[in-house]
Structure 1
Amino acid sequence: MKRIIFVLFLTLTACTGAFAQRLAFVDSDYILKHMPDYISVQKQLNALSDQWQRDVDNKFQEVDRLYKAYQADQVLMTPDMKKKREQEIDDKEKAAKDFQRQKFGPDGDLVQRSNALIKPIQDRIAKAVQEVAEGDDLDMIFDKNSEVIMLYANPRYDKSAEVITKLGLKPGGLAK
């Protein structure tokens, strides 16, 4: 009987040890706030977005102006003139919507520019996270700002400051 209990104990101990993993987490928002490159890219993208939004707004204001002028002149127009003006308004509106989609759509210029500018920053962070994980002999590092939900995270496992240091930046340099 003692032998069976001893074997069970060894088996449970071995199984528990086999499943023990070293985990940590990082706060990607905190890391990004410490990266001057990222802050610069965000400012650049915001300026570009604002400019393109003004262009979109101007195009739709032109459509609105043409429509109001059409309504005011409608009583004096022949059916052919009405049809021609309606077509002009429709064409301008379609062009404005196409421009908006080209700039802000899911595959638009803003998304493509954002991906091109942010990818090198993401690659640097991924490399730094990997180096921290390998240096601390960690099995996994989670991002507490991603889709993974953490109900509890012991602060001693927060490796964000180490990632910032690996990136050659100073932790605590900017407000969290």
Structure 2
Amino acid sequence: MKNKIFVIGIMAFMSFAFAKAQGGTRGIRVGFIDMEYILENVPEYQKASQQLEQKMGKWKQEIDAMSLEVQQMKDALQNERVLLTNELIEEKEEDIKIKEEELLNYQQKRFGPQGDFVLQKEQLIQPVQDQVFNEIRKIGSLKKYDYILDSSEAA
């Protein structure tokens, strides 16, 4: 966070120096917004966030169910281990490994970098954020701000 503030300060200082070097008499105009507050008050964003939360909750329930199944398989093997032959133990351990890999793959499919969560977020939330961003740019242009900073990111 300190690095971010330092970089912003350096950028503002350099812009000020550049503006003075250009012979500009107008100082640098900086606008501050709170993007979190703005988005929280946009009904489309709230609706998109709720849809995303519902999907995410469903996926988490599925992951929890799969995790429980793996844990039950491990517990059952642990309880039966003394009664089983080495071949049966190895077979059950292999089944557990397969289930663990399925769980990991499912988690990646839903929440990985290329997962459904990221795609859904882009589809549902990004258009609303883009609309808000475009409006902020219009206002900034009309008010002749040199920079518009998001104060919610600095906190």
- Please classify the TM superposition score into its range, dividing by the shorter chain length: 0.7 to 0.9
Please state whether the residue corresponding to 1:142 is helix, strand or coil: strand
Provide the rounded CA distance (Å) in 2 between the counterparts of 1:32 and 1:83.
54
Q: Give the fraction of aligned pairs with identical amino acids, expressed as a percent.
A: 29
Match of 2:60 in 1: 53
Please state whether the residue corresponding to 1:141 is helix, strand or coil: strand
CA apart distance, 1:18: 4.9
CA apart distance, 1:81: 1.0
Aligned positions, number: 135
Provide the rounded CA distance (Å) in 1 between the counterparts of 2:37 and 2:76.
52
Unaligned stretches of 5+ residues in structure 2: 1-19
Q: What per-residue deviation string (whole Å, max 9, x for no partner) do you get for residues 117-157 of structure 1?
A: 112112111210111012212222111122xx49xxxxxxx
Unaligned stretches of 5+ residues in structure 1: 1-13, 151-176
Provide the rounded CA distance (Å) in 2 between the counterparts of 1:49 and 1:116.
14
Write the mapping of 1:19-168 to structure 2, written as runs, cut at 5 A: 20-146=27-153, 149=154
| 2:39 and 2:129 in contact (8 A); partners too | no
Match of 1:164 in 2: none
Provide the rounded CA distance (Å) in 2 between the counterparts of 1:110 and 1:43.
13
Please state whether the residue corresponding to 2:32 is helix, strand or coil: strand
CA apart distance, 1:19: 6.7
TM-score, reference length from structure 1 = 0.71
Please state whether the residue corresponding to 2:72 is helix, strand or coil: helix
Please state whether the residue corresponding to 1:145 is helix, strand or coil: helix
Moved more, 61-70 or 132-141: 132-141
The runs of at least 4 consecutive aligned structure 1 residues that moved more than 3 Å come to: 14-19
Provide the rounded CA distance (Å) in 1 between the counterparts of 2:144 and 2:91.
72
CA-based RMSD of the aligned residues comes to 1.8
Provide the rounded CA distance (Å) in 2 between the counterparts of 1:18 and 1:106.
48
Provide the rounded CA distance (Å) in 2 between the counterparts of 1:81 and 1:35.
58
Provide the rounded CA distance (Å) in 2 between the counterparts of 1:97 and 1:35.
36
CA apart distance, 1:49: 0.9
CA apart distance, 1:113: 0.8
Provide the rounded CA distance (Å) in 1 between the counterparts of 2:36 and 2:84.
59
CA apart distance, 1:106: 2.3
Provide the rounded CA distance (Å) in 1 between the counterparts of 2:131 and 2:36.
15
Provide the rounded CA distance (Å) in 1 between the counterparts of 2:28 and 2:87.
77
Please state whether the residue corresponding to 2:74 is helix, strand or coil: helix
